[in-house]
Amino acid sequence: MASAVGLSVSVGIGIAVAAVVLLVIIAVVLSVVLMKRKSKKKKKVKFSEPDFKATVFGNWSTQVYDAKSSKDLEPILLEENKALVQSICNTLVVTEKENIARGFVYFFAAKSSSIALMKFFISQEIDICDADNSLFRSNSLSMAMFQVFAKLFGTRYLWNTLSIFLLELNVLTEEASEIESGSKDNASSLMTDTLELEIDPHKMEEAAESSFAVNKYKLLLTSQKLFQLILDTKHQMPVQLRAVLAHASSLLEKKFPAARYKALSGFLFLRFLVPAITAPHMYGVYKLPASSAVQRKLVLLSKVLQNLANEVPFGNKEPHMANLNDFIIENKATLRSYFDFIAKPLDETEIEDVPIPDVVVKNSVGFLHSYINSNKSKIFDDLATNNHTDTVNKMQQIVTRESLAM
């Protein structure tokens, strides 16, 4: 009996000792992991503002086009009836749409008239629209101009709002790639959050399918964080963009009141915010285009935000994305409240255009002059058809003077 008790005590002591040893081993392993993590130099992320001039104006920040006859052409472009501007749009050569948009926006901004220009074209866009579901959805010159306009006034806002978030996303994705390639030890990888957002079963590896629920919640949380950044910076939204949105909102209230929020959301997100998220290198946030792994995350986040802006839940086309429909439903009212603020009427008397470098103005007028000269027959015919004979005469005088000067 005594020997049995002694054996039992010995076994108990042995188990206790084994447990203590195991705990010591775990503590040692964790200590080694933590020491390794501390001893490793943290990856330094360069965080410096981009060259906003180069980001906004691109190659037009250096001399590209000859600005001859600019002094003669400028007052005609600035005529209140915008006859020449309208005829250029009516006879648009589609392959030159982007350059025409740039030329108009930069030139009118230099003359402190870019907001008036955008209001003119947005009024037309709404006026000719017959169905509210197509509002601001076409690839028209008006929408191309708004994208140039938004980039001109909004690039610094995008940097201030999105840069830290997008750079963090890039760094976390790079770290995940290092883990997968084996460049980090396995123990360290256990302590690392790889921020995997993929929820498409066709794009997930078989071993990762069990992570679907985790990835879904990560995508939800990351989308919410991104959306919250936009909400929190509503007071920093450039007043020039707000003035244009307020103008659009007032017109939509009269013609398509039921679609006002959806149209405004599609307008701002589709033409400004979402492009900056899907192509951050075009807005100076990334130095180079995103890697394929980062780009996939940017696309997923953009899809979620764009569907929220459209007020459309995900459907059968992408059934896996339907897991994000709660995000859309729950944030719909918040987004509408956001637009109530940024699209409310402003006192525009003190709103100014940004300074446009002289070389950019010269390129703008130079391109428009070259374009008009190459397409003068169509443009002059359109002016005549719309009874703008005075503008035709002025343009013909410019052509005659240039011919004599050659």
Q: Residues 378-400: pLDDT tens digits? A: 999 999 999 999 998 988 888 77
CA distance 340 to 344: 6
Q: Which of the listed residues 352, 379, 394 is the one where a domain comes to its end? A: 352
pLDDT in tens, 90-135: 999 999 999 999 999 999 999 999 999 999 999 998 988 887 777 7
Tell me the residue range of the domain where 277 lies. Answer: 159-181+191-352
Residue 3 has pLDDT above 90, yes or no: no
Please give the pLDDT value at position 70: 66
CA distance 89 to 86: 5
- Shared-domain flag, residues 267 and 175: yes
- Shared-domain flag, residues 235 and 299: yes
Tokens 């020449």 sit at which residue? 84
The pLDDT of 54-70, averaged and rounded, is 81
Please give the pLDDT value at position 134: 73
Q: What letter represents residue 12's amino acid?
A: G
Give SS3 for 354. coil
Q: Which two tokens stand for residue 325?
A: 């429909």
Cβ-contact 65, 105 below 8 angstroms: no
Residue 147, in any domain of the structure: no
- Shared-domain flag, residues 360 and 308: no
Residue 276, in any domain of the structure: yes
- Shared-domain flag, residues 82 and 176: no
Please give the pLDDT value at position 44: 55
Cα dihedral 5/11/15/21 (nearest 10): 120
* Residue of 104 and 209 predicted with greater confidence: 104
The pLDDT of 288-298, averaged and rounded, is 92
Cut 0.85: pTM above it: no
Residue 362, in any domain of the structure: yes
- Shared-domain flag, residues 260 and 375: no
Average pLDDT, rounded, for the chain: 83
Residue 173, in any domain of the structure: yes
pLDDT in tens, 170-198: 888 876 555 454 444 443 333 345 678 88
Please give the pLDDT value at position 15: 54
Please give the pLDDT value at position 267: 84
- Shared-domain flag, residues 339 and 406: no
CA distance 214 to 220: 10
Give SS3 for 364. helix
Domain count, the chain: 2
* Residue of 266 and 19 predicted with greater confidence: 266
Please give the pLDDT value at position 186: 40
The pLDDT of 147-176, averaged and rounded, is 90
Q: How confident is the model at residue 18 (pLDDT cuts 50, 70, 90)?
A: low
CA distance 342 to 365: 33
Residue 32, in any domain of the structure: no
Residue 146, in any domain of the structure: no
- Shared-domain flag, residues 335 and 210: yes
Residue 277 has pLDDT above 60, yes or no: yes
- Shared-domain flag, residues 377 and 334: no
pLDDT in tens, 222-254: 999 999 999 999 999 999 999 999 999 999 999
- Shared-domain flag, residues 228 and 313: yes
Taking alpha carbons only, the member of 184, 162, 146 closest to residue 268 is: 146
